[in-house]
Structure 1
Amino acid sequence: MFKVLVTEHIAEPGIEILRNQPDVELTYDPELFRDFEKILQIIPEYDAIITRSGTPVNKELLSKAEKLKVIGRAGVGVDNIDLDEASRRGILVVNAPTGNTLAATEHTMGMMIAAARQIPQAHNSLKIERRWDRKKFMGVELAGKTLGIIGFGRIGSRVGIRAKAFDMKVIAYDPYIKKEKAEKLGVELLDSLDELLERADVITVHTPLTDETRNMITRKEIEKMKDGVILLNIARGGIINEQDLYEALKSGKVRAAAVDVFVKEPANDNILLDAPNIIVTPHIGANTFESQTNVAVIIANQVLAALRGEEVEFAVNAPFEETTAKVMKPWMELAEKLGLFAVQVACARSKEIVIEYIGDLGEDVKAFTAAFLKGFLSKIVDIPVNYINAPFLAKERGLRIVEVRKEEGTNFKRLMRVACEIDGKRFSVAGTVMEGKFPKIVEINNFLFDLVPSGRLLIIKNIDVPGVIGKMGSILGKHNVNIAGFQLGRVGRGKEAKAIILVDDEVPAAAMEEISKLPEIMEVQKVDLG
C-alpha cells in the first residue's frame, strides 16, 4: 500500500484517480501547506507528496521523509523543490508541464494584445472613471512587428505559432533547441540573446527559473533593447529584474509591460504595481478550468506510475528521458552490467573512468552513463542506488566519468567500452547488444568473448598450457561447485590467456585459494552479475 499526501488544492478529477486506486491510501488536505510544522511531523510515513507552489519541499522536509519515493508538482515550475537534495536521496520529481501549456500560451497572447492596445487602462477609464477618452489610448499594431521569444519550448513555440497568425515576424533565442524545430515553424532561431534584444519590438520570456535565467533581463539588457519595446513575463518571477523594469517603464524606455509572475507572491506590495503602463495579473497564466483538470489528472497518473515502477513521462530530475530508457532498454541493461563487472574486477578505487560510446547510440548518452553508475556504485555504497541518485553519489565520491564518442567500431558497429587505470595498469571491458535485444560482454582487456552478463563468474588470468582447465575443474568439483560454462580468450599457446568460468554455486574461499596457488594461474577473481 502506497501512502500519498496532497498538501494543496488540485482539481477533483485528479483526486478521484488517487482515491480509486486499491493500492493507494490518500491524505488530501488542500490547506496543509499553511502548516509546515505539521507536514514535517507526518511526512516520514508517506511514499509520495503532491504539491503546487506553496509547499517548500526543502532539505529539512526531505531529511525527514524516510519513505518518500516521488514528489509530484501539480504544474510546471519546481522552484519550491530542492532538486539536488531530492536527487541525492534518489527521490523522483515529476511535474505536469503539458497540462497548462495552452492556458499559458493564450494568456501570453491576451497580455500581449492588451499591452499593445492599452485595453485594461481604456476599460478602467470608461467603466470606473466614466470618461470617454479615445485619443488618450493610442496603441500599436502587432502586425509587422518583430516578436522576440526567449525560451522556445512548449509554451514559447506555441506563442510563436500564434504570433505568426498576427503577421508578426518571430525570432527566438534558446541554446537548448535545435534550429530545425524553429525553421519548421517559420521562426528564426538566433545564436545570441543580445541580437534578439536589439531586433525585437516585443519580447516575451518563457524559460524556467534557474541559476542561469535568474535576472536574465536587467538594466544592462534593457538598455540594448529598442526604445518603446513591449516586455512580457508570463513565465517565472525573477527572470526579469523587477526594480530595473520599474525604472525602464518610468523612463519610457519600455513602452509597456505585462507581468503575471513575481519574485515574491502574493505580490500585493510589489514595486511594479506603482509603475506606469504595466498590466499585471496575479499568476493566473494556468488558471483555466481545462488546464487545472489536465494538470491534476497528469500529476496523479505520473505519481502512480512512479510508485509502481512504470514508465514516467515527465521526470524532472531523471538524468534522461524515460522514452530513451524504454527504447534503449537492452543497452541500459548492458551499461549497468558493465558497471557491476568493472567495479568487481578492477575499477573500485578509480577516481576516473572513461566510457567509450562507439557507433550510433543516439545523441544523448546520459542514460547509459547513469545506468553504468547504478551498477558500479551498488557494490560500494551503503544506500540504495538508482538512475536518479547515481550521478550525484558518483560526484560526492569524487568519481569522474569521461564520456567519449567514437565512430563505428571495427568488430562491432555499436559498442560500449569501460576503461580505468589502477597502479599504472589499464583495465577495459566492452559490450554490445546482439539482434537488438541481447546484451553481451564481448571484450575484456582486448581478449574477445561472447558472454551473457549474468550469474556467477570466475575471471582467471593464466598461462595457456595443457591441463589448466582440468586442474581448475577438479578443484571446483571437489568443493561441490558446478560448472555451467567456460570461455577462453587467448593470444597463442604458452602465452597469457583470459578464462571465464560460469558457475552455478558460490565458490568458497578455500577453492579460490587452491586455484590461485596453481603455478599456471596469474590471477583469479569472483564476479557476481546477478
Structure 2
Amino acid sequence: MSVYKVLITEHIAEAGIELLKSQPDIEVTYEPELFRDFEKILEIIPEYDALITRSGTPVTEELLERAKRLKVVGRAGVGVDNIDLNAASRRGILVVNAPTGNTLAATEHTMGMMIAAARLIPYAHKSLKEERKWERKKFMGVELAGKTLGIIGFGRIGSRVGIRAKAFDMKVIAYDPYIKREKAERLGVELVDDLEELLRRSDIITVHTPLTEETKNMITKKEIEKMKDGVIILNIARGGIINEKDLYDALVSGKVRAAAVDVFSKEPATDNILLDAPNIIVTPHIGANTYESQTNVAVIIANQVLAALRGEEVEFAVNAPYEDTAAAKVLKPFMDLAEKLGLFAVQVACSRSKEIVLEFRGEISEDTKPLTTAFLKGFLQKMVDIPVNLINAPFLAKEKGISIVEVKRPEGINFKKLIRVTCKSESGEFSIAGTVMDEKFPKIVEINGFLFDLTPEGKLLLIKNFDVPGVIGKLGSILGRYNVNIAGFQLGRMEKGKEAKGVILVDDDVPPEAIGEIKGIPEILEVKQINL
C-alpha cells in the first residue's frame, strides 16, 4: 500500500488533522508555525505528496519547483492569493480549497452587524463601559421590523441572510442576475430586475457578491445618491465592492445613517479611511471566524486532499492541471469555442435560464463531456470569484442549479461540425451557434437565427434594431462623443426593413451613459455590452 505524506504548515482545526491521521495510507506532519520559516519549507517539501496551508504560506513557483512529489495543495479557506496557480497547473499539481465551510458563520456575522448598526450598539457600549456615561437619548436606533432589506447577491450567504431577515419581520428584496426567480420566490423574497430598483427601495442594503470585474466598485457615489436618506449599508463580502471613499463621504454627510464593514480593499486595514468615519462599525475580516466554521473548513480540506491523493473526484478544485493528450489537442479548438459560447450566452440572456440545451453536430457529437464542461467554464466565469476550470465547473453548475440538456446529432447541415446553445427562460429563447474554421479558428456563425461570421474575442455591442437607414450613423455619433473607437461592424438580417441584429466591435468599454443614449434611439430595440 502506498503511503502519502502530508505537510500542514499553519493552524487548522483538530478535526481535520485527526481525520488525516486516521487514514492508514496517510502520514501527517503538523507544524502550524512552519509558515514563518520559508527556507525550511523549501528544504523539506521534496518529501511530501500534499501541502495544506492557510493564507500565510507563500506557495511560489520556487516552492513548487522543489516539490517533486507534490500532487495537491489544499487551502484551508477560500482565497488562494498566496498560491501560484499557473505554476501549479504547469506541474500537474491540483489546488483545492474549502469555500462552503464558513457559510453560516458569515451569515450570522451579517445579522449581528446589521443589528449593531441599526442600534449603534458598539458606540453605546463604549460610552457606558469606557467613558462611564449614561446617554440613552444619544443612541436612538431604528427597528428592523417593517424595514426593506436589499440583498445584492442571493447565493449561499445572501439567501440565508434573507431567511433570517424575514424572521425579523423585514421585507426582503434581492438583486442577482444569475439566480433563478423560483429560488427567491420559494424563500418569500422578491427578486428585482435591476440594481437601481433595489437601491431606491431599500432601508438597509447588504452585499454578498464575489469580487469580479463586474462587481468591483459596484457601489459608488452615484449609486449611493439613488438610495434613501438614512440608509444603512453593510459589506461582509469582499473589500472593493463598495467604494470606501464614497462611503466615508456619505457617512460624514449623513446620507448614510450607519454602516457595518468586515472587509476592506487592502488588508490589514489599520489606516483605512473608513476607520475615521462616523456611525460605522468595523471588524477585522472575522466573518468566517467561528470554531464551528474552522472545524468545517478543516474537515472539508482534509477530504479534498484525500480524494486528490487517491485519484478520486474532487469537488472544490481551484485550478486544472494542463493536459497534453492527443484527444485534448484535437478537441481544444471546439472546447475554446464552447467556452466562448458560454461566456457570450451568460452576458446576453441565459443567466436565469430554466434549461440550457447544447446541441452538438457532426463528429464532435461522439464525445461531448469535455465540450459541455468547457461551456460551463465560460458560463460560470462571471458568477463566482474563484477561478473556474474544467474540474470544478460541473460542481459549480450543480450548486447554481444550472440544468444542461445535451442533444447529439451525428450529421451536420450547413457546417460539418457545429455547437448550438439554446437558453429557455420566462422571457423566451435565445440561441447562439458556432463552428471552427480550418480546425483552429473558432467562429460564431448564428445569433437567434441571424447569420454572422464573428471571431469571439474582444469587446462588442450586440444590437437588435429595425433595419432602416440612419441607425448606424446615430450609433457611431454617440460612441464618438464618448471616445469609443469602432473596430468593426457586422449586420445580420432576414429581410430588408425588418428586424435585424448588429454586432459592433469596439476597442474600449462603453460607458453606461453611452449605453443609455443608444437605448434611447427609437429604432433600437435592445443593446447588450459583451466582453469575450
Query: Which residue is equivalent to 1:251?
Result: 253
Paired letter, 2:232? I
Going from structure 1 to structure 2, the CA distance change for 1:271 and 1:55 (only over 3 Å counts) comes to farther
Shift of 1:94: 2.1
For residues 31 and 44 of structure 1, the distance between their equivalents in structure 2, rounded to whole angstroms, comes to 19
For residues 366 and 245 of structure 1, the distance between their equivalents in structure 2, rounded to whole angstroms, comes to 46
The one of 43, 47, 50 equivalent to 2:49 is: 47
Query: Which residue is equivalent to 1:340?
Result: 327
Q: Is the 8 A contact 1:4 1:25 kept in 2?
A: yes
For residues 438 and 270 of structure 2, the distance between their equivalents in structure 1, rounded to whole angstroms, comes to 61
Shift of 1:209: 2.9
Query: Which residue is equivalent to 1:103?
Result: 105
Give the RMSD, CA atoms, in angstroms.
3.9
Structure 2, unpaired ranges of 5+ = 339-356, 362-367, 376-388, 394-403, 420-434, 441-532
SS in 2 for 1:33: helix
For residues 95 and 423 of structure 1, the distance between their equivalents in structure 2, rounded to whole angstroms, comes to 36
For residues 208 and 341 of structure 1, the distance between their equivalents in structure 2, rounded to whole angstroms, comes to 31
Q: Is the 8 A contact 1:143 1:167 kept in 2?
A: yes
Going from structure 1 to structure 2, the CA distance change for 1:53 and 1:198 (only over 3 Å counts) comes to farther
Paired letter, 1:173? Y
**Does residue 358 of structure 1 match 2:355?**
no
Shift of 1:82: 4.3
Query: Which residue is equivalent to 1:153?
Result: 155
Q: Is the 8 A contact 1:352 1:420 kept in 2?
A: no
Going from structure 1 to structure 2, the CA distance change for 1:42 and 1:173 (only over 3 Å counts) comes to farther
Deviations 1:118-148 (A, max 9, x none): 1111111111111111111111111121111
Q: Is the 8 A contact 1:92 1:388 kept in 2?
A: no
Query: Which residue is equivalent to 2:460?
Result: none
1:108-147 equivalent positions in 2, closer than 5 A: 108-147=110-149
Shift of 1:313: 2.6
Query: Which residue is equivalent to 1:21?
Result: 23
Paired letter, 1:216? M
Q: Is the 8 A contact 2:102 2:297 kept in 1?
A: yes
Q: Is the 8 A contact 1:77 1:208 kept in 2?
A: no
Query: Which residue is equivalent to 2:238?
Result: 236
Paired letter, 1:31? E
Query: Which residue is equivalent to 1:295?
Result: 297
Shift of 1:88: 5.0
Query: Which residue is equivalent to 2:316?
Result: 314
Paired letter, 2:210? P
Shift of 1:15: 1.1
Percent of matched pairs sharing the same residue: 76
TM-score, normalised relative to structure 2: 0.61
Shift of 1:9: 0.8
Q: Is the 8 A contact 2:152 2:158 kept in 1?
A: yes
Paired letter, 1:102? L
Q: Is the 8 A contact 2:316 2:392 kept in 1?
A: no
Shift of 1:204: 1.1
**Does residue 199 of structure 1 match 2:201?**
yes
**Does residue 214 of structure 1 match 2:201?**
no
For residues 298 and 102 of structure 1, the distance between their equivalents in structure 2, rounded to whole angstroms, comes to 15
Q: Is the 8 A contact 2:336 2:374 kept in 1?
A: no
Paired letter, 1:20? S
Shift of 1:62: 4.2
Going from structure 1 to structure 2, the CA distance change for 1:227 and 1:22 (only over 3 Å counts) comes to same
For residues 141 and 218 of structure 1, the distance between their equivalents in structure 2, rounded to whole angstroms, comes to 26
The one of 179, 182, 186 equivalent to 1:180 is: 182
Query: Which residue is equivalent to 1:3?
Result: 5
For residues 75 and 92 of structure 1, the distance between their equivalents in structure 2, rounded to whole angstroms, comes to 16
Q: Is the 8 A contact 2:335 2:370 kept in 1?
A: no
95-104 or 308-317: which moved more? 308-317
For residues 138 and 228 of structure 1, the distance between their equivalents in structure 2, rounded to whole angstroms, comes to 13
For residues 201 and 141 of structure 1, the distance between their equivalents in structure 2, rounded to whole angstroms, comes to 11
| Residues matched between the structures, number | 372
For residues 312 and 73 of structure 1, the distance between their equivalents in structure 2, rounded to whole angstroms, comes to 14
Shift of 1:406: 8.0
Q: Is the 8 A contact 2:315 2:392 kept in 1?
A: no
**Does residue 171 of structure 1 match 2:158?**
no
For residues 245 and 371 of structure 1, the distance between their equivalents in structure 2, rounded to whole angstroms, comes to 39
Shift of 1:40: 4.2
Query: Which residue is equivalent to 1:271?
Result: 273
For residues 15 and 284 of structure 2, the distance between their equivalents in structure 1, rounded to whole angstroms, comes to 25
Shift of 1:277: 0.5
For residues 78 and 72 of structure 1, the distance between their equivalents in structure 2, rounded to whole angstroms, comes to 10
Shift of 1:41: 4.5
SS in 2 for 1:231: strand
Q: Is the 8 A contact 1:163 1:170 kept in 2?
A: yes
For residues 176 and 230 of structure 2, the distance between their equivalents in structure 1, rounded to whole angstroms, comes to 24
SS in 2 for 1:136: helix
Paired letter, 1:125? S
Going from structure 1 to structure 2, the CA distance change for 1:54 and 1:246 (only over 3 Å counts) comes to farther
Query: Which residue is equivalent to 1:511?
Result: none
TM-score, normalised relative to structure 1: 0.61
Deviations 1:308-330 (A, max 9, x none): 112323333469xxxxxxxxxxx
Shift of 1:27: 2.5
Shift of 1:155: 0.9
For residues 259 and 423 of structure 1, the distance between their equivalents in structure 2, rounded to whole angstroms, comes to 51
Paired letter, 1:188? E
Shift of 1:87: 4.2
SS in 2 for 1:8: coil
For residues 341 and 31 of structure 1, the distance between their equivalents in structure 2, rounded to whole angstroms, comes to 42
Paired letter, 1:193? L
SS in 2 for 1:4: strand
Larger-Rg structure: 1
For residues 251 and 318 of structure 1, the distance between their equivalents in structure 2, rounded to whole angstroms, comes to 48
Q: Is the 8 A contact 1:87 1:388 kept in 2?
A: no
Shift of 1:2: 2.3
Shift of 1:30: 1.6
Going from structure 1 to structure 2, the CA distance change for 1:410 and 1:91 (only over 3 Å counts) comes to closer
Q: Is the 8 A contact 1:90 1:388 kept in 2?
A: no
Q: Is the 8 A contact 2:358 2:372 kept in 1?
A: no
Which structure 1 residue ranges, 4+ long, deviate > 6 Å from structure 2? 350-356, 416-419
Q: Is the 8 A contact 1:91 1:388 kept in 2?
A: no
